[in-house]
Amino acid sequence: MRALFVLLHRWAGLLIAAFLFLSGITGAIISWDHELDDLLNPHLMEVTSRGQAIPSLELAQLIESRHPEARVSFVPLLPEEGESLAFSVEPRVNPETGLLYEVPYNQVFVDPITGEELGTRYWGAPWPVTSENLVSFLYVLHYSLHIPEMWGIDRWGMWLMGIIAVIWTLDCFVGFYLTLPSKRRNRNNTADDEAAAEPMVNGRSCWQRWQPAWRIRRNGGAYKLNFDLHRAGGLWTWGLLFILAFTAFSLNLYREVFFPLMSQVSQVTPGPFEIRQPTELHKPIVPEYNYEQVIAKAADEAMKRGWQEPVGSVFYAQQYGVYGVDFYFTGDDHGNGGIGAPRLYYDGTTGEYLSDRLPWKGTAADIFVQMQFPLHSGRILGLPGRILISVMGVVVAMLSVTGVYVWLKKRRARSKYASQSASQWRGGLKPRES
């Protein structure tokens, strides 16, 4: 059984090593996405004008008049002094072709005081990589590798990284098992057995025999150092590695696997994005209700519920025909613990109230589902959590590199041994057993 687990860990690790290295490095960086974006792009993020802000809905109309091929899909409603407002846009359907316009941007930055357009950019653009889209390029690279749309489906990259995350999650348990001390060594105690066995010593407890797996030998040469970094590094951070692996799976395969599984084992309250199927890419649902009408409905509903937070932002998902209205105070759009703000959903065609999303409320399964992104990003612990996730990104990259290094060294040792054995047989000598 142990030999089988060694093989599983080896080949699973080799399969996912490059993906985890890339995700680890990018994850360590994008933990600070907003701060880095502000630092790299002050010409988009900062304004010098001061005074009374123009209402955001008027700015949205102004943007659509300047860009008739695009529809504003996200409206921020709480301007902050010295900062621009970033509106998201999506392409409209070209009536001549029946296809979406090719719009080379999906964000428009506006001075909330003067209405001046500061610039546009495509958040997450794969190329060219500039200071304006560097952070978003790394963000999308982290979870989807920028694999393009094919056959009308744009989730190939998310599916691939979701499968990698499933393998990683299962391999966490295999790797942990292989650190446990074995009752005996195999007869041929080759270098390949070092990860799988510990010698049995009379009078030593299991913990005493397991202790070497937690230590790093600094004076044993490059191989032992890399081996110990891989084994001990994985042990010391095992819980966090499992959380990262599992939440990567749940976020990337949320609609396809995670939500259906959760619905089978527990009571999960579905939202409109779980119930509705998205339309084809080039057949979006044109809303009949506008932002002003939806905001008025949502504000009235929030007042009835006794909410103190104002309407902070509103979005329209044109592939689902759904409005989402978020309620939060200025600067608190991530909500308590990074779990998000209270949200009300409305139908874009009828204006009908659909459902809500209330942070830290609902069934135990609802709260567990809500926690996936805050856990993965570290925001559930605030600033210390984000620092921890950055460190873990480096750890994941290190484990990937050391794992491949150990495999290469063992492979070379096995090849050398096989070559020596073949030479001895050709010379009429039986190879010495080690």
121 and 87 together in one domain: yes
267 and 377 together in one domain: yes
Q: Is residue 120 within 8 Å of 108, Cβ to Cβ?
A: yes
Q: For the residues 217-241, what does the mean pLDDT come to?
A: 92
260 and 148 together in one domain: yes
* Number of Cβ within a 10 Å radius of residue 396: 25
Q: For the residues 284-288, what does the mean pLDDT come to?
A: 95
pLDDT score recorded for residue 186: 46
59 and 135 together in one domain: yes
Total number of domains in the chain: 2
Q: Dihedral of the CA atoms 211, 214, 216, 221 (nearest 10)?
A: 70
Assign 411 a pLDDT band (cuts: 50, 70, 90): confident
Q: Which pairs from 35-41 meet CB under 8 Å and 24+ separation? A: 36/134, 36/135, 37/135, 37/136, 40/131, 40/132, 40/134, 40/135, 41/131, 41/132
Asked if pLDDT for residue 27 goes beyond 90, the answer is: yes
Asked if pLDDT for residue 393 goes beyond 90, the answer is: yes
135 and 276 together in one domain: yes
pTM, entire model: 0.85
273 and 136 together in one domain: yes
Average pLDDT over the chain, rounded to an integer: 89
pLDDT score recorded for residue 424: 65
131 and 226 together in one domain: no
What pLDDT digit, counting tens, does each position of 134-154 carry? 999 999 999 999 998 787 777
DSSP assignment string, 125-157: --SS--TTTHHHHHHHHHHHTTPPPBTTB--HH
First to last CA, the chain: 23
What pLDDT digit, counting tens, does each position of 77-127 carry? 999 999 999 999 999 999 999 999 999 999 999 999 999 999 999 999 998
Q: For the residues 296-315, what does the mean pLDDT come to?
A: 96
Owning domain of residue 357:
32-156+256-382
232 and 331 together in one domain: no
pLDDT score recorded for residue 339: 86
* Number of Cβ within a 10 Å radius of residue 42: 10
Asked if pLDDT for residue 184 goes beyond 80, the answer is: no
Asked if pLDDT for residue 367 goes beyond 60, the answer is: yes
223 and 261 together in one domain: no
Distances (CA, A) of 7 to 175, 405, 407, 410: 11, 16, 11, 13
